[in-house]
Each structure stands twice: as C-alpha cells, then as structure tokens.
Amino acid sequence: MQTADIKEIAALEQQALQADARGDMRRAVQCWEALLARAPDHPRALRSLSHEAFSAGRLDRARALLQRLVEVDGRDKQQWLNLSVVCLAQKDEDGEEAALRGALTVDPYDLVALVLRSRLYIRQGRRQAAAGACAAVAAVAPPLHTLPPDLQPVVREALDWHDAYNRDFGAHLDSFLAPYLRELQGENLARFRESVDIMTGRKRRYDSQPALFHYQGLLPTSFFPRSEFPWLDALEASTVAIREEFLAVLAAEQGFTPYINYSEDQPLNQWAELNKSLSWSAFRLIDNGAPVEENAARCPRTMAALRGAPQPDQPGRTPSAMFSVLKPKTRIPPHTGVSNVRLVTHLPLIVPPGCGFRVGNDTREWEVGKAWVFDDTIEHEAWNDSGQLRVVLIFDIWHPQLSQAERAMITAMTAGINQFTQAAGGFAL
C-alpha cells in the first residue's frame, strides 16, 4: 500500500470518528464506506458499518460485514458475539452456535457467551448440551448481586434451568435404581444414597476434590498400604514382560495419542500446555470400559496381568488401562481425578533419575517394578526433569472400602446415567 493511500485511509477514519462524535451518522457512514472501498479488511470500518446495518434492520449486510471481520481479525470476542446476535435475529441456529464457539475459543470464560450458548441449547431442546452449558455458567458466574442488572435475569435463567435438570436427573435415577435397591434390601447403602443426592444437587458436597462423583464415607488416603493389595505381587512379577511389550509398541511408533485432548472452545485451565500434545501421551489398552482391540492384541501378557486386578465396572467409563509416557523436561500440573470410587495403580517401567510424583503432601520417586495405589481425587502432579522418557503402566481398580453391594449399585447407577444421556450421546459421570 502506498504512503498516499495510508494517509487517505487515516484521514477518512478520522473524519468518520469526528462525524460519529457529533452525531452525524449519515456522514460517518459515508466516510466508513469510502474507507472500506479502499481497505476492504479495515476492522474498525467493518465493525462500524455492521453496527449501522444491524440498527437499520439490514441483517444480511450486517452479517456479511461481521463475517468478513472475524475472518480478517477474530481476536476480539465481541466481534463473534455481535455475529451471534445477527444470526439469532436471522433465526440461523447453526450460524449462531458457530459464532458463539468462536467467542469462547477467544475467551472460554466469557460469561455472556456462555449464557448465550446455554439459551441456544435450551431453545433447541438439546437437554444434555444445555445441561453442560448451564453448568459452565454456574462455574463461571460470580454472585448474582455483583452482576450488571441486565445480566442478572439471564444468568438466573441458566442456573434455574440447571437446577430443574438436576431434579429430573435425580428423579430418573430414583426410578431406575429402585429395583436394584429392593434386591439389596438390608445392605448398608447409606453412603451410596447420599453420594447420588450430592451428584444430583439434592445435598451439598463439602469434600470438593473429586471432579464429578464423590462417594461419601471413603477416607481420603494419598498412597494406600501395599498390604491391602496382595494381587500386586503377580503384577510386579510380570514387570519385565510388560516392559518388553511396551518397548515393542514404542519401536513401532503407532497407537500413541495425547493424554489430554480438549476441544479449543473448552476452558483449558492448567492443561493449556499439554492439550493435544504428545509430551504426555498414552498407549491405551482399555478405554472407557472396553479394550482397544488393536492395542490390546499387541500386549497379551500385559492384558493377562491386568486381569488379576479388581477392575471397576462402570459401563462406558471404566475400567481403563494404558502406558503413560512422559517426555523429557515435561511436568504434569496439579490436578484431581473424577471420582473416588476407583483408585489408580502405577507400575513403573522406565524411570530415569529426576522423575517424581506427588499426591497431597506425599512426594515419592517411582522404582521400576514397584507398584503403588493412590487416590487420584487428591491433588497430584508428576514431573520428568531428565533427558529420557518416563513410562508407567496406569490402570484403575475399585476402592477397596466399597462393599460388593455398593459396587453393584455404582455399576447400576452408571447404566442409569447412560440411559438418561443416551439421546444426546453424552456421558455425565
């Protein structure tokens, strides 16, 4: 662009701003249009003219300008929010959803975008998606009285909708679980009942460490005494065979996926550096309750060793098992697991110097062939300060303090959750 053109564009912008300041909208629009003719990607001109077009009811023109704006810029969430409002006025729900996704990709914590997405899903009757969207509003929203007056009613709407959803969820589980409870009549299931009440919002959860489902009455323990798990002897005896199978799959360089894999429009919190990264990867043997057939077939001795563990049964969720690979100079940030009904077992396979693991106040170093069991709902983190890979076989087991009846009810509850969310294809626990 020539210097003369730059000066002319700057002059037109100044004239438009001056006309706007004195309330001469006609002249301002003329200047913006002249500027846009010379610089079709000028963000301020696109934004100003889109606002004018929307105010005049020219929705197609407003949308075209905003679409151009997010294509050439898109770094300001307000650009996407304005586009979503135009799509709403045009009754284009796909366009509205895409624009809100764009706003939340810029800022996943923006309360206005989260509220608008919840209202869209409620309007569409997408109950499971609306539940997640309203839960996000609840997680982000400050106390209502601190919000601007015009924002308070729509935030309250999202919170009230989520409360109603939880009531329906609780009523469904009550009905679904009733025959299972009758079969186990006489068993002590008080902790199970209270845990369901907490999950569905009927009671307050005071222990906030498990991310999703907290089971009442299970004492938080960082590392469990090894004597509680006699089956670990056989697992540790298989260390060499398991390590050999891992080295074979590592040499093939196939089947490894990022351990953390969130979509870009989700709040990443501490996972931003590791999201979609192979710095922390997994070779999954059992995933969401089912074997990963191709991977499992390559590790028969490992799969045989896993069968000796009391693996949890939550359809579509657990058990899970994988080789966890942490690359050199990589740190897994402090985090907590989803539910305390299952514990996590580590069998270290490759542990160079400079690696460590912390659960709560207890920090330990892995030793090859020495397994441990810990509660991952207690804050924990890991690091590899060495120049080599750190590899651990990870899998989950039932919490040993759960009775057989409680385990049966947790399995049944998971099936009930699956049934409730099946239409949306989601999984809540």
In terms of CATH architecture, what is 3-145?
Answer: Alpha Horseshoe (1.25)
Helix axes 111-124, 152-183, angle to 10 degrees: 60
Asked if 3-145 and 226-398 have one fold, the answer is: no
Give the per-residue pLDDT at 206. 47
Q: What's the pLDDT at 427?
A: 45
Q: Give the type of residue at 172.
A: H
Average pLDDT, the chain: 92
Residue 277 pLDDT more than 50?
A: yes
Burial of 236 (0-12, 13-18, 19+ CB in 10 A): middle
Contact 191, 214 (CB under 8 A): no
Is the pLDDT score of 425 beyond 70? Answer: no
Dist CA 15 CA 20 (whole Å) = 9
Convert the pLDDT of each residue in 140-159 to its tens digit.
Answer: 999 999 999 999 999 999 99
Name the residue ranges covered by the structural domains of the chain.
Answer: 3-145, 226-398
**What CATH code is assigned to 226-398?**
2.60.120.330
Backbone angles phi, psi at 374, to 5 degrees: -140, 165
**More reliable by pLDDT, 175 or 204:** 175
Model confidence over 168-179: pLDDT tens digits? 999 999 999 999
Q: d(Cα 90, Cα 99) in Å, to the nearest integer?
A: 13
- Note the pTM of the prediction, 2 decimals: 0.71
Q: Is the pLDDT of residue 4 over 70?
A: no
Average pLDDT, stretch 83-107? 96
What pLDDT sits at residue 223?
92
pLDDT tens-place string over residues 59-70: 999 999 999 999
**Which pLDDT band, with edges at 50, 70 and 90, does 2 fall under?**
low
How far, in Å, are 4, 119, 265, 394 from residue 122 at the CA level?
Answer: 53, 5, 19, 39
What single DSSP character describes residue 213?
B
